[in-house]
Amino acid sequence: MSEWTIGIIGGSGLYAMEALEDRQWIEVTSPWGKPSDKILCGNIGHVRVRFLPRHGRGHPIIPSRVDSRANIDALKRAGCTDILAISAVGSLSEDLPPGRFVAVDQFIDNTKGRPSSFFDNGFVAHVSMGDPVCDRLSKYAAKAVEKAGGEVTMGATYLAMEGPQFSTRAESRLYRHWGAEVIGMTAMPEAKLAREAELPYALLAMVTDWDSWREGEDAVDVGQVIEQMGKNSDLATRTVEKFCKALPKKRTPSPIDRSLDDAVITAPNKHDKELMTKLDAVAGRLFRGR
């Protein structure tokens, strides 16, 4: 077995991966809340896999209520070294038609009121998000799509909206003006929290629709999304298998593994002990042994 333990955050269908060996659902508790579901543990080739359905099995959780802090913390507790997220998105670009996969490399966070940090008064940290995804993981993921027989674009800006409603036409046109190329409801604060937890993160976005900006076409509805998701699910499953099998057996360190080294600004004599207890998985390496 290699040193990789890949956390897969995804949706319906992926937990049926035939390539996943020795599968077992385990419950992981988190001091940050209730994760979306149990974690499906197993192996694909030489890689340990920990799969978490973002909305829970059967999709009972709306985007605004996905507890991303609990999910990321639970994956860290389950031993994950890296995270590959898979998410359905709408397209804001003529170059990204439904059915195409996109390895996202930038984000615009337009969500409202979602807890977006593990840190608070008594333990303040500011991680860098200039380059919010792991380039190494993103390249492996994009190549895996191609090996699985899909079409993929490397690099795009993801607009994270609150939802659960889809965009108005005016909003959709505004997001294009901002430079966004795909739109979804779940990657933020997920990507921010992964960085705070020192977990390299990549996002493969599956384009399901054109959002609502195109003149003379019907606005997006859930029927379009579900239909395209069904078409994409087998490809997504094959992609995860190809991704894991292509990883080298030795995991070389990533700079993201130590994202907190220069991020904490609170003086040691001002640390909040209760908060530090909750941070044992996310940031425990900074203060273990004290």
Catalytic residues: 209, 211
**44 sits in which H/E element:** strand 39-44
CA-based Rg of the chain, rounded to a whole angstrom? 19
Q: Which helix (H) or strand (E) holds 229?
A: helix 222-246
Question: Are the CB atoms for 241 and 17 separated by under 8 Å?
Answer: yes
* Residue 112 tokens, joined: 């409202």
Cα(95)–Cα(75) distance, integer angstroms: 34
| Count of residues in the chain | 290
Give the separation between CA 137 and CA 139, rounded to whole angstroms: 5
| Helix, strand or coil, per DSSP, at residue 65 | helix
Rounded to whole angstroms, the Cα distance separating 14 from 44 reads 13
Q: What residue type is 154 in one-letter code? A: M
Residue with tokens 């077995």: 1
Q: How far apart are the C-alpha atoms of 44 and 121, rounded to whole Å?
A: 41
- In the block, tokens 């901002």 appear at 178
